[in-house]
Chains A and B, each alone.
Chain A
Amino acid sequence: MEMVRLEGVSKRYDEVMALSVVNLSVEKGEFVTLLGPSGSGKTTLLNIIAGMAAPTAGQVYIDGVNATEIPPKKRNLGMVFQDYALMPHMTIFENIAFPLRVRRVAGREIARKVSEVLGLVQLPDVADRRPRELSGGQQQRVALARCLVYDPSLILMDEPLAALDKKLREQMQLELKRIHTELGITVLYVTHDQQEALTMSDRIVLLDDGRIEQMGEPDHMYFNPNSVFSANFLGDSNMMEAIVERIGAETGVMTSQGHTFQTSRPTVAEVGGTVKLMIRPENIRIVRQNDDEEFENEIDGKVVDSVILGGVIRHHIDVGMDEMFVSQELNRSGRASIHPGTDVVLGWRAEDMYVLPLQGTLEDG
């Protein structure tokens, strides 16, 4: 069952094309993240669905109805903002009761629903306080409660956790996910944080420069990026330019600055053409003497730096390419650390090397 459909939606501001021809469909109960860098059009898209901005072209359908001309107050949506947008002059109770009063719900029913929804976000005792007395995380939960109390068909969230510190953000991500799963409500979530997108979404819609670059489930997006942009934005990547030598049924062979590499991934490219090869840092290993793993691809390099990031170590290695390679491995006490300046050999498997077009997406080519 479709909850939101966008057909050919575009938005132009004078000279700038904020969104160009977006086609999107969101199922009931889905948690869809609009992911992208600043200026990618994700907030514009959210505002068009909310009704706060009108599309220059295209149609917006909400819950089966053509909502393109319908004003925001009649669309029965909920929205959560980055700065919470709680009314500072009202108590928490009055803040949450606001949409119910607008709908002329009876006083006793209001009290019941407010208390129910405060229990849902695990803040049962704050009804009489004012927003400024609560912490950021609490205020955001109240903002969420304010959305849930009137049972909207769709909740829009515009970078709601961006103002919170890291630990709290991670906690809230799991909270939001729990509430989403419990209530089965449709959520459209805007963020530039790829980790957030990977944690919470049923599906990710990756936007760049007003266009949908790629969309799919988090797993699929991570293990099957369709472009250099997607590979870089979702997850980390090591890139090098290469020329296609041969494409066989099972393998492809590329050369880059004198090195020959193999991939066992399905490749869409022309022989003789230039492509970008991509390997994720966690798939690049520093070949050690006692390793019995065999790597189809190897390259020599010199260690520049090793950075400990808590549970993982990232080694930055100069391999004679334009960019340094990053190799990531799990951090274990007792593992011999590698000094800067050490010569190493890096290895990775053929199945971990992606072939991506120099420009645009795999679908374009």
Chain B
Amino acid sequence: MAAIERAVGPERTASSIFVSAMAWLGYFFLIMPSLIVLPMSFGNKFEMMFPPTSFSTYLFEQFLFEENWMDATVLSFRVAIGSTLLALSLGVPAAYGLVRGNYWGKKLVAMILISPILVPVIVIALGLYLYFTSVGLRGSEFALIVGHAVYTGPFVIVTCMAGMRHIDVNLEVAARIMGAGALQIFWKVTLPLLRPAMLASGLFAFLMSFDEIVISYFLSAIGSMTLPVKMFSSIQWEISPVLAAVSTLLTLLSLVICLIGASFQKKSQDSYRP
């Protein structure tokens, strides 16, 4: 009965242990910068030292109350929310049209909509800079929101297209035969079923926009800097330890958003099966 007693599962062979160890090493290598920054954010007030020689929350207080860090953070939030909403409201219908539609030139439209993924972000940034300068909007929050939406839009479209393909087309056919109009079908049948994809792509777009530096740097003005842009100029002009605190908070934000995303995934798996 030895065969029954042994637990069912992957064997712990030498090679599998080696692979695990390599994976953990790689993972450690990737998060090492965050691991260094985290203790530094509770450390020395006036110079960056690792390992830190003192402990205080001064740097976080500095972030919250001094030098317009909070202004930059608030702007980043506004731009992230705005560009996410814009990317979703344009990207979701686009995904619907690309998956369900059947018209001449559909492949061309798809390519154009997804093309920002193929282009280096600095080229996009330069293009946006030239365009918004020509209409006099460089430095405005509007330009930032639109610029970020261009950047995150393709990811929203691709994710939602994948979500659309999981939706049984017969559901829409049945709804049509039962008398529902196209808008009714989109609202009552398609969107509720697309919610997991919309949520995932929305959270991802938010995070992408919040962390985005290149486009923001090109489009920002002195008075309106997003958080990453302020961090970058701050480190060019001075080596300020407050950056450690900002980095820790940014890492925390990413973590929270990923946890939200993961919890919705679990929830949606309970209530919907493709």
Q: Is residue B181 within 8 Å, beta carbon to beta carbon, of the partner chain?
A: yes
Complexed CA–CA distance, A132 and B270 (Å): 11
User: Which chain A residues lie closer than 8 Å to B266 at the CB level?
Assistant: none
User: Which chain B residues lie closer than 8 Å to A102 at the CB level?
Assistant: 178-180, 184
Complexed CA–CA distance, A336 and B90 (Å): 77
Judged by DSSP, the binding face of B is helix
User: Which chain B residues lie closer than 8 Å to A99 at the CB level?
Assistant: 178-180
- Contacting pair A72 B272 (CB below 8 A): no
Q: Which residue of B lies closest to A76 (CB)?
A: B179
B173, B178, B184, B273: the one within 8 Å of A88 (CB): B273
Smallest CB separation, B172 vs chain A (Å): 9
Q: Which residue of A lies closest to B171 (CB)?
A: A85
Q: Is residue A150 within 8 Å, beta carbon to beta carbon, of the partner chain?
A: yes
- Contacting pair B170 A72 (CB below 8 A): no
Smallest CB separation, B93 vs chain A (Å): 19
User: Which chain B residues lie closer than 8 Å to A89 at the CB level?
Assistant: 192-193, 271-272
- Contacting pair A85 B180 (CB below 8 A): no
Complexed CA–CA distance, A77 and B174 (Å): 10
**Given known A87-B171, A89-B192, contact A132–B177 (CB-CB < 8 A):** no
Q: Which residue of B lies closest to A131 (CB)?
A: B273
Smallest CB separation, A201 vs chain B (Å): 22
In the complex, which residues 253-311 of chain A have their Cβ closer than 8 Å to any Cβ of chain B?
A: none
Q: Is residue B175 within 8 Å, beta carbon to beta carbon, of the partner chain?
A: yes
- Contacting pair B271 A83 (CB below 8 A): no
Complexed CA–CA distance, A330 and B146 (Å): 78
Footprint of B on A, CB under 8 Å?
A: 50-52, 72-79, 81, 83, 85, 87-89, 98-99, 102-103, 130, 132, 146, 150
Given contacts A87-B189, A103-B179, 4 further A-B contacts (CB under 8 A): A88-B273, A102-B179, A132-B273, A146-B178
Footprint of A on B, CB under 8 Å?
A: 168, 170-171, 173-181, 184, 188-189, 192-193, 271-273
Q: List 18 A-B contacts (CB under 8 A).
A: A52-B176, A73-B178, A73-B181, A78-B177, A79-B173, A83-B168, A85-B168, A85-B173, A87-B171, A87-B193, A98-B175, A98-B178, A98-B180, A98-B188, A99-B180, A102-B178, A102-B184, A130-B271
